[in-house]
Amino acid sequence: MRLRDFKVLTFDCYGTLIDWETGMIDALRPLVARRRPPPPRDAILEAHARHESAQQRWTPTMRYRDLLAVVHKRLAEAWDVSIPWADSVAYGSSIADWPAFSDSAVALNYLKSHFKLVILSNVDNESFAASNRRLGVEFDAVFTAEDIGSYKPNPRNFEYMLEKLAARGIAKGAILHVAESLFHDHGPANQAGLASCWIHRRHAQGGFGATMNPGATPRHDFRFTSMAELVAAHSAEAGG
């Protein structure tokens, strides 16, 4: 199997293209500063993952920015910190400030010349529009949790995407799903019968950070530690 065998790359965004963990940690600083002692970085991210995943199960149609406000409230309660609701709303709005990984925009612009590019993200449309400006590329399609009414890893999200792409004449075998999260993306991609590429951004830290532990590691057809490595591999296949 080669990267050049595919015609469409479908991407998770947050954790793969946007450095959501840095964005979360920066936006949570005012809350974390009130917790004594402050939890370590990975403990914050793991607590966030637990509350986010639970909230997504209970309120699958809630916009992501609104859902993050509830996650912020749950974190404050768990840490015995009293906060005004306005602080939680501000946290939900912080998505627009989350930075892109340094290699994302350059990689996407290279890949745009060789593939159709599609987003499948657990986000709302307004928040993604802000992130898209940081990525500097026009995607051929954007499918969000707000569009679908559920959050990954619900298989509905992949079913929706595949139905919409099939209507455009794109067969499943032409698609490579590119993502960091084993829990949100590679597991359901396996169930959907999609080839997948793991962008293992957390290779140096270990653990799962802001995503839930998937248990058994899902199958993946390619593994790179960055988008830059993916581009280099494609370039090598094409003879430089």
Cα–Cα distance, 167 to 94 (Å, whole number): 35
197 with 71: CB under 8 angstroms?
A: no
Token digits of residue 148? 């679908």
Task: State the catalytic residues.
Answer: 12
Token output for 38: 């402050």
Q: Which of 41, 53, 26 is nearest to 151 (CA)?
A: 53
Q: Copy the structure tokens of residue 187.
A: 């597991």
Integer angstrom CA distances of residue 234 from 5, 180, 223? 10, 18, 13
- The answer to whether 165 and 177 are in contact (CB under 8 A) is no
Q: Is 6 left (phi over 0), alpha (psi -120 to 50) or beta?
A: beta
Q: Is 119 helix (H, G, I), strand (E, B) or coil?
A: strand
Q: Are 131 and 121 in contact (CB under 8 A)?
A: no
Distance CA(171)–CA(173), nearest Å, equals 5
